[in-house]
A and B are shown apart, each in its own frame.
Chain A
Amino acid sequence: MPVIEVDQLVKTYGGTNVVDGISFAVDEGEIFGIVGPNGAGKTTTVESVEGLRRPDGGTIRVLGLDPQRDRYELTQRLGAQLQESRFQDRIRVREALELYASFYAEPADWRELIGRLGLEGKADAKYADLSGGQKQRLSVALALIGSPEIAILDELTTGLDPAARRSTWETIEEIRAGGVTVVLVTHFMEEAERLCDRIMVVNRGQVVALDTPAGLVAQIGSEQRLTFRPSEPLADSVLTSLPEVTDVQHKGQHLVVTGTGNVVHAVTSVLAGHGVIAEELRVDQRTLEDAYLELTNGDETEMEDR
């Protein structure tokens, strides 16, 4: 059953549709990823779902509520972590948590929450003294302090080092294990692939694909690429005559063979038949990153993400 339903969302700034007819539904208990270039409309979309922005067209239902009209009830049931938001330098972690807990009808136990998020030793630290990763985890804690059914996390791991990023990923998986539906806005494909059940790719205000990570990769074809150095010279025609092979190229002493289906088996058997050994063999599969770049035509516009 969907907990978020967005139908034909439109949001216009200065005459251009920053969001131009986006539709999607998020199911209960899933981790739903939204990826896309800067300025694609990701943040505008989730901020409309959070009720921070009033749509210029389309409808949004979150837990059956209208984010504009039923604002108060929605805020009790949806937790948000906003892009580029921070807290007062002189506030202590404990104070921020107690303060935000006082806003909600059924707050979570903040001690248990910061334990789960690895901040237990930092309750008395001032915000300014936290590392980037700790600030982000506090931000997640505050998004969860109201025991929400849905958590929307916008660019959670931007600016974190790889170790902090990985520990934040584990946190998100734990949140979901606790029964919370998670919407994750990111531009790290590794993150989306690792965490998300489904990913929506947004470009220029429109949905260009919505599928599982594996499904997105499959959409751009199941091409594989073999790179190797033949032990003996080999005529291209031996390879190009194989039905699985689509392309053969020379790179120095190496051959780069592209193909579909069971191309790896086909190539290695024909090589064996000719008594040729494939040295330094490497097989590359298409990744989510390749799929993303293809789906967005490599757009990485410098527009401000709004």
Chain B
Amino acid sequence: MATMQLVRTEGKVFVRDPVGLFFGLVFPALLVIALGFFFPGFDEPASELNGLRYVDVYSNVAIALGIATLGLVTLPPILGQYRQFGILRRLRTTPVSPARLLLAQLVVHAVVAVLSAILAVTAAVVLFDVTVPEQPLWFLVSFVLAVASVFAIGLLVGARVRSPNAGVGFGMGIYFPLLFMAGLWVPRSVMPDGLLTVSNLTPLGSGVQALEDSWFGTGPEAMHLVIMLVWAVAIGFLAVRLFRWE
């Protein structure tokens, strides 16, 4: 009852922030659309992408972008604000544990991440004739693990920061490297071997690959799933251990 009410209230408050809503929910689909329409050759098969089109590959990157924006840019400052405002402390004087507020925030962000991915996939499928994911179940598993691993990192940042600004600062410091490794600037299939190895070890490097293999292939490699799972469990555990309630 209280948890549902928390999710509803936090959801309403989240939706009232136009910046978070735009970049977390709509921007990934807009990225797919903009790249598809304005980049020459974007919807033609490319040999350096193993026969896939840039629009195919970037649809996965766009999903990763949405996950990263929600987990690393909007989540940490909200937690920093809750700490700075004394909202977590205030909850400790009620019968409801502040941990449930965190849970509610994670649920709200996860719901927005799902909607954001649906928008991006829909844009790709409808506007650029991208096939619907061929392995939908594996696609879902890959997506869930990517969300879990990135949100765990955002939760760890949010576990410590004392203000919204600190949350934005630390979050952004992780956001750009992770997106680089996800192939936002250089697609993974054209990365040199050394860089690709590093990329594989990051949550969104593995995440994008697992999504791509589920969307256009026969399913993800176990390695990519395990790497995400390790990030999610290890960092999630740290975040819970190091969480500052005051």
Contact = CB atoms under 8 A, between A and B. Distances in A.
Nearest to A91: B13
Given A88-B13, A90-B16, A102-B2, A80 B93 contact: yes
A95 interface: yes
Contacts of A146: 94-95
B144 interface: no
A72 B93 CA distance: 9
A104 interface: yes
Contacts of B16: 90
Contacts of B13: 88, 90-91, 95
B90 A82 contact: yes
A52 B94 contact: no
Contacts, number: 64
A88 B85 contact: yes
Contacts of B193: none
Given A85-B85, A90-B13, A100 B1 contact: no
Interface stretch (B4-12, B59-67, B122-130): B4-12
A75 B86 contact: no
B89 interface: yes
The range of chain B's interface size is 20 to 34
Nearest to A98: B5
Interface string A120-152: 000000000000000000000010001000000
Interface in B165-220: none
A51 B90 CA distance: 12
Nearest to B88: A85
Interface in A50-78: 50-52, 72, 75-76, 78
B112 to A, nearest CB: 16
A100 B95 CA distance: 10
Interface in B73-106: 81, 85-87, 89-90, 92-96
Given A98-B5, A102-B2, A84 B86 contact: yes
Contacts of B96: 103
Given A76-B95, A82-B93, A87 B87 contact: yes
Interface in B1-49: 1-2, 5-6, 9, 12-13, 16-17
B95 A95 contact: no
B9 A82 contact: no
Interface residues of A, number: 28
Given A82-B89, A82-B90, A88 B81 contact: yes
Interface string A35-53: 0000000000000001110
B86 A82 contact: yes
B85 A75 contact: no
A52 B13 CA distance: 27
A52 B93 CA distance: 7
Nearest to A84: B86
Contacts of B95: 72, 75-76, 103-105, 146
A99 B6 contact: yes
A80 B92 CA distance: 10
A79 B93 CA distance: 7
Contacts of A80: 90, 93
Given A102-B1, A103-B94, A85 B89 contact: yes
Contacts of B92: 51-52
A153 to B, nearest CB: 12
Contact of B93 (A50, A87, A98, A99): A50
B9 A91 contact: yes
16 contacts: A52-B89, A75-B94, A76-B95, A79-B93, A82-B90, A82-B93, A85-B87, A88-B87, A95-B9, A96-B9, A98-B5, A100-B94, A102-B1, A103-B95, A103-B96, A105-B95
Given A90-B13, A103-B94, A105-B95, 4 more contacts: A86-B86, A90-B17, A96-B9, A99-B5
